[in-house]
Amino acid sequence: MTVPLDLPRLSVHDLLCTSALSPTDLEHVFATSRALKAARTVHTEVLRHKRLAMIFEKDSLRTRFTFDIGMQDLGGSAVFMDHRDARLGSRESVKDMAKNLERWVHGIVARTFKHKALEELAQHAGIPVINGLSDFVHPCQALADFFTLTEKWGQLRGRTLCYVGDGNNTCHALIHTAVKLGVHIRVCSPEGYEPNARVVNEAMRTAQEHGSEVTILNDPDAAAEGVDAIYTDVWASMGQEDEIEERNGIFAAYQVDEEMLARARPGALFMHCLPAHRGWEVTQEVMDGPQSVVYDIAENRLHVQKAVMALLMR
């Protein structure tokens, strides 16, 4: 028999950015993720007969599979809309798309280039909108990252996470989430590739409320010293393919290798959102080493996104 889930209300209608979530919201997401992961049977009653629209402007493995499978596990269904050849708003307005979809489905997950498209969807749709990735933030990824850390560490408060690499959407989501959880975060990027200043300034204000710290550095050796986990991502994100050669040269000193991992605390975890370019941002030895939790994170995308859908769409 399926054990009934305790599904509290979140303080938000949509999930566009974790900066909008309260620490209590984050705990609700993690608790629900934990319950769904521990269940020996799928909770097909949670979203029975509900439908999810999946609008994707970008290629995807983890986001597409985990949202689709997640809806099936919760008793609903998903309809995939491929927008890689025609971005949102090009064929018809984002407002009109939102107004149509809200008549047919019960939630929308969108994976877009422009964060503004997600904001427009959420503004005009009366149903929950979930950010499956935008050029600004990747909230579902950060939720899976920190949920994984709760499994490995238990208590997160007071731990230190070091992100090494491009100050991109994943980096922004990690910053927003870390400070709400009392996690200290160091971000180390080459000059000119630091995270968005507005994100950093907002996070620093939030950090004061929750006893966490945000530190921005350019020296990878100093950044990795004594941390509990080291996180990296690709040096050129989707849409930056023409910059790959230039970025590979600029970021070469920021590769996560065994020497960098050794600067962290003994047993420090290695994290990556995937896909990874082995031999570039991370060495083969670290990627496949005993301290790597990259596949645990990938698995937890399923459980965390099921929790998000259950909490927002029920």
Asked if 145 and 184 touch (Cβ cutoff 8 Å), the reply is no
User: Which pair of structure tokens corresponds to residue 258?
Assistant: 């065994």
Sheet of strand 77-82: strand arrangement: 77-82, 51-56, 107-111, 129-133
Residue 187 CA to residue 207 CA, distance in Å, equals 14
HSE-up (13 A, CA, CB side) for residue 308: 34
Q: What is the CA radius of gyration of the chain?
A: 19
The secondary element (H helix, E strand) that includes residue 132 is strand 129-133
Please list the active-site residues.
111, 138, 141, 233, 273, 301
Report whether 101 contacts 125 (CB < 8 A). yes
Task: Find all residues with CB under 8 Å of 289, minimum gap 6, and list them.
Answer: 258, 261, 270
Q: What is the enclosing helix (H) or strand (E) of 148?
A: helix 139-153
Name the strand (E) or helix (H) holding 104.
helix 94-104
